[in-house]
Amino acid sequence: MLPMKSEADRVGASCVLQEGDPKPTGEPGTLVVVDIADYRYISPGARYGFGIMTGNAFIKSKVQFRDLVTGDVLGERSYDTSSTAWQGVFSAMTEKQVQAICKQIVDEVAHR
């Protein structure tokens, strides 16, 4: 939640985490539903310690944008990332990839 909250704060938006199935609140806004289909976590320690031997970090996700009042689907988009182990310690680890996806999602919503 922290990366999404920090990105929302960056553009002056609010961000509230919902547990369970997504529910419209009746308030104006956008409900962002994130479904992580697959991922491979690589920690900074593993990347720095083992370099290319750690392999590639990746995230495959699908995001639905819904009307926060009605729950109607406004759009859907995939947000996928991957690193290349050949970049060694400079390759993006999972935390950086999560932050990048959160930034893209917030920028998408902010421009509507």
For 34-70, the pLDDT digits (tens) are: 999 988 877 666 656 666 556 778 889 999 999 999 9
Grouping H, G, I as helix, E, B as strand and the rest as coil, residue 91 is coil
Find the helix or strand (DSSP H, E) in which 60 lies: strand 58-67
- The dihedrals phi and psi of 77, each to the nearest 5 degrees, come to -155, 150
Distances 51 to 54, 81, 82, 100 between C-alpha atoms, Å: 6, 19, 15, 21
User: How far is the C-alpha of 77 from the C-alpha of 65, rounded, in Å?
Assistant: 8
Q: Give bridge partners of residue 63 from the DSSP assignment.
A: 34, 77
pLDDT score recorded for residue 81: 83
- Tokens found for residue 79: 């947000």
For 69-80, the pLDDT digits (tens) are: 999 999 999 998
